[in-house]
Amino acid sequence: MSKNEKILVLDFGGQYNQLIARRVRDHKVYAEILPYTVPLSKIKKGGYKGIIFTGGPNSVYDETSPHYTPDILSLGIPVLGICYGAQLTAWMAGGEISTAPKGEYGMIELRTAKSSGLLFEGIKRRSTVWMSHDDYISKPPKGFRITAKTDSCPCAAMENAEKKIYAVQFHPEVTHTEFGSELLHNFLYKICGCRGDWVMDDFIDKTVASLREQIGSEKVILGLSGGVDSSVVAALLSKAVGKQLTCVFIDHGLMRKDEGDFVENTFTDLFDMNFVRVNCKDRFLEKLRNVSDPEKKRKIIGKEFYNAFWGEIRKAGATAYFAQGTIYPDCIESGKGNADKIKTHHNRVKMPKDIKFEGIIEPLKDLFKDEVRAVGEKLGLPAELVHRQPFPGPGLGVRIIGSITEEKIRILQDADAVFRDEMAKNGYESQLSQFFAVITDVKTVGVMGDHRTYEYLIVLRAVTTDNFMTADWARIPYDLLAKVSNRITNEVSHVNRVAYDITSKPPATVEWE
Ligand code: XMP
């Protein structure tokens, strides 16, 4: 995969910044996101074929709003401003912005001008777009012409074709905009002159070749969690350097049922590498004994993981390279913050001072999650691993309410396995973003045969979401819930009641702790 062509997505704090970059990449053009605080000199040197200004939550007249030097419009690089980015483009070029008499939210009908220019080429004169704005461009700058409008927005799109500067008030990156994809394609190919060289086909060959060159005959170590990112890095490194790679897998005993064995079998059967599984369930359980405060539990699990992992690395002795599964979203600086504040790289491992490596290897740092999954599939990783749902670092620790005991882990693993089995059998696995069981610290009275029982309450949680910042509870059919409840109470000992969580996020979170 080469990336000679690059588009800059200049981030003004809009919620869709990553989505814009993803959509550009869907058209086989590499997109890079930088915060609006990036200096113009860096943009000049970047070799960009085009620049997209993202939306943002602000009004251009607000002094605290993110702005940029108007010189960016004179670089000769094509520009597409979206939403706040459109207003900013107009404002920088001398146009006027006002608060619209009526804001537009949601799906709105757009009408393009008779001659609507390259950006709208091949797009129907009337179509549906996604709007979300209170301000609008009330007077386009000199040299610009209006190319589309809506009932409430007299300038829903404008262009200065000569300077290749375009702006749209709506969001072409969201799927509700009927011809958003075609519009982006026009911008990339007809206006920026891209040819589309960001293709996944040769990513593996090129990455493997460059890893071989970088690592030479040295050794490399990787912390494998069983998650998608570290698994794909493991597969790539195994292909590149085989036994020079050692993967360390810390099994804290808080994985889902049989998951530790699955990870071990996958990597020892399918790939050439040294695989070290460190079973430290007892050590974790010991530290977690009688601790029920969620934050304390998280901290203990984090600290024990750190100690176990780096302890093992020390045991392994000198290794030149340390690899990790950092992906592109982990590296993006937020457009909202100030320039030197970089988003916390939660995927980047904290390293003790006494351990030094010659270099850090992050082969996935340019890829979005779905691109990582595509690479994983091509490398032959099992679908179960590649399409794995998110799983929290502290594992089942945040799904066991109250103190963590061996018995509660076992009950939860069994109940969760039943839930997952039924969801898979009934085709719900790929439709939902995440689903799992939780074991509460509550025991309730029940009846089994002629006997009174006093056993645990299991809660099922299933959500749909685009980004996990907000989520809705999944409308699973009653019959399926009935089947799961019936199986859990029959097959899992010490459970006599099952409930289904019908709370969205907010106010709840996805996990229970
Ligand atoms: P919440 O519970 O915050 O979860 O609504 C949102 C998403 O994040 C996952 N999650 C975590 N992932 N380490 C992780 O790597 C964690 O400590 C953690 N806590 C929650 C959760 O599973 C959901 O997908």
pLDDT (tens digit per residue) in 151-206: 999 999 999 999 999 999 999 999 899 999 999 999 999 999 999 999 877 899 99
CA angle in degrees (0–180, nearest 5) for 60-66-70: 75
User: How many angstroms does the Cα of residue 391 sit away from the middle of ligand 1?
Assistant: 7
Res 15: pLDDT: 81
User: How many angstroms does the Cα of residue 459 sit away from the middle of ligand 1?
Assistant: 17
Res 200: pLDDT: 79
Largest Cα span, the chain: 86
Q: Which atom of ligand 1 is nearest to the CA of 471?
A: 5
CA distance 488 to 492: 5
* Domain 200-386, CATH among 1.10.3720.10, 3.40.50.620, 3.40.50.720, 1.10.150.120: 3.40.50.620
Strands 245-251 and 274-279 turn out to be: parallel
Collapse the DSSP code of 491 into the 3-class scheme (helix H, G, I; strand E, B; otherwise coil) and give the result: helix
- Return the CATH fold of 399-500: GMP Synthetase; Chain A, domain 3 (3.30.300)
Res 199: pLDDT: 86
Q: Which atom of ligand 1 is nearest to the CA of 509?
A: 5
- Return the CATH fold of 6-191: Rossmann fold (3.40.50)
The domains of the chain are located at 6-191, 200-386, 399-500
Res 110: pLDDT: 98
User: How many angstroms does the Cα of residue 394 sit away from the middle of ligand 1?
Assistant: 9
What residues are in contact with ligand 1 under a 6 Å CB criterion? 390, 392-394, 434, 468, 505, 509-511
Q: Higher-confidence residue: 316 or 478?
A: 478
DSSP 8-state secondary structure symbol assigned to residue 163? T
Res 316: pLDDT: 82
Give the residue whose CA is nearest to atom 20 of ligand 1.
392
3-state secondary structure 34-76: EECCCCHHHHHHCCCCEEEECCCCCCCCCCCCCCCCHHHHHCC
75 CB contacts (<8 Å, ≥6 apart)?
A: 40, 43, 44
User: How many angstroms does the Cα of residue 171 sit away from the middle of ligand 1?
Assistant: 29
Collapse the DSSP code of 397 into the 3-class scheme (helix H, G, I; strand E, B; otherwise coil) and give the result: helix
Res 344: pLDDT: 35
For residue 126, the cross-strand partners are 111
Ligand 1 pocket mutation, candidates 230, 468, 505, criterion most atoms within 8 A of CB: 468
Q: Which atom of ligand 1 is nearest to the CA of 346?
A: 15
Mean confidence (pLDDT) of the chain:
93
Q: Which atom of ligand 1 is nearest to the CA of 433?
A: 24
Strands 6-11 and 50-53 turn out to be: parallel
Q: Which residues of 333-366 are buried (b: 16+ CB within 10 A; e: fewer)?
A: bebbeeeeeeeeeebebeeeeeeebeeebbbbbb
213 CB contacts (<8 Å, ≥6 apart)?
A: none
Q: Which atom of ligand 1 is nearest to the CA of 508?
A: 5
Res 348: pLDDT: 63
Give the residue whose CA is nearest to atom 3 of ligand 1.
509
Res 339: pLDDT: 30
Q: Which atom of ligand 1 is nearest to the CA of 512?
A: 2
Res 338: pLDDT: 35
Task: Return the percentage of the chain with pLDDT > 90, whole number.
Answer: 87
User: How many angstroms does the Cα of residue 392 sit away from the middle of ligand 1?
Assistant: 5
User: How many angstroms does the Cα of residue 239 sit away from the middle of ligand 1?
Assistant: 31
Res 507: pLDDT: 94
0.75 surpassed by pTM: yes
CA distance 125 to 64: 37
User: How many angstroms does the Cα of residue 180 sit away from the middle of ligand 1?
Assistant: 31
- pLDDT, one tens digit per residue, over 202-248 is 899 999 999 999 999 999 999 999 899 999 999 999 999 999 999 99
Give the residue whose CA is nearest to atom 19 of ligand 1.
392
Res 334: pLDDT: 53
Res 51: pLDDT: 98
Same fold, 6-191 and 200-386: yes
The DSSP secondary structure of 433-479, one letter per residue, reads SEEEEEEEEEEEEEEETTEEEEEEEEEEEEEE-SSSSSBEE----HH
Is 224 within 8 Å of 234 (Cβ atoms)?
A: yes
Give the residue whose CA is nearest to atom 11 of ligand 1.
392
Give the residue whose CA is nearest to atom 23 of ligand 1.
510
Q: Higher-confidence residue: 347 or 98?
A: 98
Which residues have a catalytic role annotated?
A: 83, 171, 173
308 CB contacts (<8 Å, ≥6 apart)?
A: 250, 252, 278, 280, 283
- pLDDT, one tens digit per residue, over 13-62 is 988 888 999 999 999 999 999 999 999 999 999 999 999 999 998 899 98
Res 343: pLDDT: 29
- pLDDT, one tens digit per residue, over 102-156 is 999 999 999 999 999 999 999 999 999 999 999 999 999 999 999 999 999 999 9
pLDDT exceeds cutoff 80 at 322: yes
Give the residue whose CA is nearest to atom 14 of ligand 1.
392
Task: Return the percentage of the chain with pLDDT > 70, whole number.
Answer: 96
